[in-house]
Amino acid sequence: MARIVPGVRRMYILLVIHLLWTLCALVVVTRQQRAPAAAATWIALIFLVPVGGTLLYILAGYRRATPAAGTPGHCGGRLETLIASSCGTPPARHNEVTLLHNGNNAFSALIASLQRATHTIHMEYYIIRDDRIGRTIAEILIRKARAGLEVRVIYDAVGSWRLSRRMLRRMREAGVRTAAYEPIRFPWFRPAVTRRNHRKIVVTDGRVAYLGGINIAKYYLDGDYMGKWRDEHLRIEGDAVADLQRLFIADWARASAERLDASLYIAPHDIRRRLPIQLAWSEEGRCRAAIADAFAATIIRARRAVRICTPYFMPPGMLLDALRLAARSGVRVVVMIPTCSDSPFTDLVSDSYIGDLLDAGVELYRYENGFLHAKLLIVDDRVASVGTANLDYRSLRYNLEVTAFLYDRETVGELAATFDRDLTLCRRIPPGQWGQPLWRRTLGDVLRLVSPVM
């Protein structure tokens, strides 16, 4: 009987280990990744590059169930019920909303609210920069903390990597309580480090709240190499403030391990205007697809028109199908994206969707007056969403996000009018005339294959 050469035996052993490793990965990945394309991509990556693929999956793909911030029961319309039952709240009925279309308006209103605060200031941002606007707001927080107010700030450790230790030290010495969301500590990486806190929330005195796409950075005022930044933000007074306050307190407990009694930070108000606002948020756990589900349900219910603007367009299949179905059903679907973004990777992948949209009858526009950073969905002039979530996998499947659904026709009409004004600053991509160099189209299609896991 021929003896097996030791080198061949080692090869067989490694092959068996490889196959067993891939089989274990198949069990774990298919239980967690319910989208076939994402699961197949991860399994193929682990099969081809076992060590590197496994480490990448642990960092970027593995999901650990975590409790939601709290979801009250609700009975109402189907969209309202969907949002409340996934991760959200019932509609808050009585509110006043101020639309803040750009950085100048948003920072002016925010600074005024911070200066008027008398008891508490709670802030949560993906990006806080140590620049002109960041230092201005930090000085206000320092003065308020020294005056005896409770000031708490959550910042994302990756998004706010340019926030200097000196600024943090000055705030902490003044009594500002700060918490970094998921700091990266080499070499003790955890799966959660790739899931960032992309929310932007401010609540002052439990009475006034801010929500939208604008971070704390001067390029929202001055622009940058892409030009002026176009964005949307909301100033809210009324019932919805309590919902945002509770969400901040849940995030504070997650980032700092300090648990606060929400009832101590929610103030009464005298707003009587009926302007329903419903919050939806997404985070790790059962509600990771809450915002994506709400977007798809809103689009499918459209009867006349869907307007969307987003800086990054890499939608999960469910959303792409919803847009195509709406367009083919006779609904006017208008999608506005930037001419270029701050991510060449995103531009390539976004371009790979253009042909799909045009073939379905979607009107596609490129914004040419700077960088479009607004995250806006408007359906039939009766419901609109303004928040932090982009139409991409990372935002809708992994990050902590929050968006406000507005059910007031007057407010939605104002947002629609602003959208239509922005269209005059756009260039439409004509149907049937979309063409790219072969290398760019091929590279975009290849990168699109891995977009579900990025």
CA distances from 441 to 281, 297, 325, 451 (A): 34, 31, 24, 15
Of 46, 42, 20, nearest to 31 by C-alpha is 42
Stated pTM of the model: 0.84
What is the per-residue pLDDT for 70?
Answer: 45
CA distances from 38 to 25, 51, 65, 297, 450 (A): 13, 19, 18, 22, 8
Q: Check if 373 is active-site.
A: yes
What is the per-residue pLDDT for 73?
Answer: 43
Active-site entry in 101, 122, 144, 198: 198
Q: Check if 351 is active-site.
A: no
Active-site entry in 375, 392, 408, 422: 375
Burial class (CB within 10 angstroms; exposed 0-12, middle 13-18, buried 19+) of 115: exposed
What is the per-residue pLDDT for 378?
Answer: 98
Q: Check if 293 is active-site.
A: no
Of 363, 373, 356, 374, nearest to 334 by C-alpha is 363
Active-site entry in 101, 122, 144, 373: 373
Cβ neighbours of residue 306 closer than 8 Å, sequence gap 6 or more: 299, 323, 326, 331, 332, 333, 334, 377, 378, 379
What is the per-residue pLDDT for 19?
Answer: 77
Active-site entry in 200, 231, 251, 351: 200
Question: What are the pLDDT tens digits along the chain (454 aa)?
Answer: 455 566 667 777 777 777 787 777 777 766 666 566 667 777 777 777 777 666 666 665 655 544 444 444 444 578 899 999 888 899 999 999 999 999 999 999 999 999 999 999 999 999 999 999 999 999 999 999 999 999 999 999 999 999 999 999 999 999 999 999 988 776 555 655 678 999 999 999 999 999 999 999 999 999 998 999 999 999 999 999 999 999 999 999 999 999 999 999 999 999 999 999 999 999 877 788 899 999 999 999 999 999 999 999 988 889 999 999 999 999 999 999 999 877 777 777 788 888 888 999 999 999 999 999 999 999 998 999 999 999 998 899 889 999 999 999 999 999 999 999 999 999 999 887 666 666 666 666 666 666 655 5
CA distances from 341 to 229, 312, 371 (A): 11, 8, 7
Burial class (CB within 10 angstroms; exposed 0-12, middle 13-18, buried 19+) of 435: exposed
Active-site entry in 74, 94, 130, 205: 205
In angstroms, the CA 293 to CA 428 distance is 28
* Helical (H) or strand (E) element with 351: helix 344-360
Q: Check if 228 is active-site.
A: no
Determine the longest span between alpha carbons in the chain, in angstroms: 92
Active-site entry in 239, 380, 408, 422: 380
Gyration radius (Cα) of the chain, Å: 23
